Copies of this chain bind each other. A is one copy, B any other.
Amino acid sequence: MSTRDDLVLAAARLLDQGGPAAVTLRAVGQQVGLSHNAPYKHFADKEDLLAAVASRELRRPGPAIRPGDDPAAALKARAKAYVRWALRYPARFKLVFGAWTTASAELDEAASRSRGEFVDAVRAAQAVGGVPAGDPERVTALILALAHGAADLALGGHLSRAGKGHADPDDLVDDLFALMATAKDQG
């Protein structure tokens, strides 16, 4: 493990434990036994370090595809895994999709690769008629937008009135897939 990796890991740990406010360059340096400005030898600035944390997060392995699995069910499982990740690691989720003032090639590429895997899963589901036909990129965008929005609203408690109306993010994923199934049956 390089010092660079140590710094990224320490930043991720601090983020999980204390939220974004806990991720200071001084705390990161201390976690790896270095001074508070050692990170500047590996990253341009703090945002560059955070971009590396976000990239690492996007490169996490997706759910394994077992041969024989129904591609439509696998796609739905992928959407639910996305929601589960967001709810379990809110700080990482907010970081990845937060407001970046500087473009990071590493982050852009990781995000593109991650969505590419999702597009492949959509294509496979379309091949067996599990989801509506049409531009796979657009169907992917539809599913991702719903999963993303459901997770983000749930994190803020904005999904449904407390007690009133049962609407977990998981339920909404089910609802969307049910709508897509009837649309596919009809067309």
Please tell me how many copies of the chain the complex holds.
2
Closest residue of chain B to A182 (Cβ to Cβ) is B183
Looking at chain A's contact residues, the main secondary structure is: helix
In angstroms, Cα B157 to Cα A85, docked, is: 20
Chain A interface size range: 35 or more
The answer, yes or no, to whether A66 is at the interface (CB within 8 Å) is no
A99-111 Cβ-contact flags toward B at 8 Å (1 or 0): 1110000001001
The answer, yes or no, to whether A32 is at the interface (CB within 8 Å) is no
Contact A176 B142 (CB under 8 A): yes
Residues on B with beta carbons closer than 8 Å to the beta carbon of A137: 160-161, 164-167
The answer, yes or no, to whether A88 is at the interface (CB within 8 Å) is no
The answer, yes or no, to whether A73 is at the interface (CB within 8 Å) is no
The answer, yes or no, to whether A36 is at the interface (CB within 8 Å) is no
Contact A145 B149 (CB under 8 A): yes
A160-187 Cβ-contact flags toward B at 8 Å (1 or 0): 1100111101011001101110110111
Contact A141 B160 (CB under 8 A): yes
Contact A172 B94 (CB under 8 A): no
User: Which residues in A have some Cβ–Cβ distance to B below 8 Å?
Assistant: 19-20, 90-91, 94, 97-101, 108, 111-112, 115-116, 132, 135-138, 140-142, 144-150, 152-153, 155-161, 164-167, 169, 171-172, 175-176, 178-180, 182-183, 185-187
Pairs A–B under 8 Å by Cβ, sample size 30: A19-B99, A19-B101, A97-B152, A108-B157, A111-B158, A115-B161, A135-B165, A135-B166, A137-B166, A138-B165, A138-B166, A138-B167, A140-B160, A141-B150, A141-B160, A141-B172, A142-B172, A142-B175, A142-B176, A144-B153, A144-B159, A145-B153, A145-B159, A146-B149, A148-B148, A148-B152, A149-B152, A178-B183, A182-B186, A185-B186
